[in-house]
Amino acid sequence: MSTQQPVLELKNVDIGYNDALVNNVIARVLPGEIIAVLGPSGIGKTTLIRTIAGLVEPLQGEVTLHTKKKGGLGYIPQRLGLVRHASVRHNVALGAKASISFSKTMFEERRNRVDEAVKALGIEDKLKEPVRRLSGGQLRRVATARALAQRPQLLLADEFLSELDHKNVEIVIEAVQQLLEDGTSIIMVEHHEENVRLFATRIWVIEDNQLHDYSLEEWEQSLEEEE
């Protein structure tokens, strides 16, 4: 096991609302890792993400985030969580706002981060547009830009690559590379195997109320065995 300080630790965690969907989760996430969470619908993937985000209390066990900086946790839910009646700039700026501390240069820093993020996602021409007028793919890019502007240490993304065509997936992945270079870890719920192969470094498969932790190679091997 690596001696590196993990970003996230799950110790004997039971996840669910009333009854446990996933039992006794023991896992840790290291800086720079990209974890894809796989499993059939309703198995508890979103609940796992929401538990790590602190939105659902674990039924048992301990979830520890080792994020030191302000706004260290980024979150892109399935419904994206954008402020529909506000502009693209306002939404992306929320990410910067969450992570930049009060200082003389904070407004300038916020502006720079927003400009960089929208440029990376190719939505710089939509800055003034209200979010409610954008297409599904554009909305996902705005949510990703918000995370980019936040520069979190751990990003939780629930199916953020779904509904995107191949070209848009490439744009988003290229933009997220920037975060990975800064050492951000990502936990993402994903259904498409090709996106997992393109992006993930480790796989969490939820099966029979258990979380199985695989490396990419182990996962590929398990798929071959199943076939």
Contact residues for other proteins (CB under 8 A)?
A: 50, 53-55, 70-77, 79-86, 90, 94-95, 97-99, 132, 150, 152, 156
Q: Name beta bridge partners: 128.
A: none
In the complex with other proteins, which residue's Cβ is closer, 44 or 152? 152
In the complex with other proteins, which residue's Cβ is closer, 83 or 223? 83
Q: Name beta bridge partners: 34.
A: 186
How open is the CA angle 181-82-199, to the nearest 5 degrees? 30
In the complex with other proteins, which residue's Cβ is closer, 23 or 153? 153
Residue type, 27: A
Helix (H) or strand (E) holding 35: strand 34-38
In the complex with other proteins, which residue's Cβ is closer, 132 or 167? 132
CA-nearest of 76, 82, 71, 56 to 135 is 82
Distance CA 4, CA 39 (A): 28
SS3 140: helix
Shortest CB 182 distance to other proteins, Å: 17
Shortest CB 127 distance to other proteins, Å: 15
Shortest CB 95 distance to other proteins, Å: 7
Shortest CB 55 distance to other proteins, Å: 5
Shortest CB 46 distance to other proteins, Å: 11
In the complex with other proteins, which residue's Cβ is closer, 55 or 198? 55
How open is the CA angle 49-70-154, to the nearest 5 degrees? 30
